[in-house]
Amino acid sequence: MKGILIMLSLSFMNPGIFSQDYEKDVIPTSGGDLEITFIKHATLMMEYNNLVIHVDPVSMFGTDYSTMPKADLILLTHEHGDHLDPDAIAQIRTDHTTTILNSGCYKSLGFGEVMANGDHKTVAGIEIDAVPAYNLTVPNHPKGVGNGYVLQFGGKEVFKVYIAGDTENIPEMSDLEDIDVAFLPMNKPYTMSPEQVAESARRIRPKILYPYHYSDTNTDELLKLLQDEEDIEVRIRQMQ
């Protein structure tokens, strides 16, 4: 059992910083606060020790990226249009931004550092592992194409965040260890059903689980399935 007591506080972005407000959780870690801003669908922003991390930034859900903080790190899971938006990326990217992506995104953008499943990099002190993300039952996301990411934040106690990308409950999830926060997609047939997310959560055993990319899936189903898992805290945010 890790020595960190994880506490979440739900707040909202201060008016005037962005053209629109988003839900935001602040999670203490031994290396500093991790602030997670929930944009929409599979789009996230994280802030940690003055670093800004954007995950799959897209404007198709109404986000005005001209008002968003510039990125130190951009993570792109795969090249589908609800995850890859060159115009949004252009508005947050600077000469100092590191863009981590799969080969499909690189072909579309023409820049970035390609990571394949199994690759490891360290960017600004954050360790990044690219992990498999694929479908088992439909051909939408073939094996070996897209990435999930495990981010490892430093401090006296390591703090790990798993961003699954578009995937089903693949066997490789059983290899993940000591995950503190997990983002698992939940919209069949493209990703997982609530039952598959629950099964994945029981294998990964994150301290905090955020279903995301869940479209019109009833999140109450997941809450019921995991209601007896006292060591997994399910947090529902506006990530349809």
What's the pLDDT score for residue 5?
A: 36
Burial (Cβ within 10 Å: 0-12, 13-18, ≥19) of residue 94: exposed
What's the pLDDT score for residue 154?
A: 86
pLDDT 10s digits, 122-150: 999 999 999 999 999 999 999 999 999 99
Q: Which residues of the chain have pLDDT under 70?
A: 1-20
pLDDT 10s digits, 145-169: 999 999 999 888 999 999 999 999 9
What's the pLDDT score for residue 155?
A: 83
Strands 120-123 and 113-114, how do they pair? unpaired
Q: How many CB atoms lie within 10 A of CB 104?
A: 18
d(CA 114, CA 76): 10
d(CA 10, CA 138): 36
What's the pLDDT score for residue 20?
A: 61
**Identity at 166, one-letter amino acid code:** D
Tell me if the domain spanning 9-234 has CATH number 3.40.50.2300. no
Whether the CB-CB separation of 62 and 38 falls below 8 Å is answered with: no
The domain limits of the chain are 9-234
Burial (Cβ within 10 Å: 0-12, 13-18, ≥19) of residue 189: exposed
Structure tokens of 13? 């972005």
Whether the CB-CB separation of 128 and 112 falls below 8 Å is answered with: no
Q: What pTM, to 2 d.p., does this model score?
A: 0.92
Element of type H or E holding 100: strand 98-101
Closest by CA to 55, choosing from 147, 158, 135, is: 147
**Identity at 200, one-letter amino acid code:** S
Kindly report the backbone phi and psi dihedral angles of residue 150, in degrees, each rounded to the nearest multiple of 5, phi listed first: -110, 120
Structure tokens of 34? 């991790």
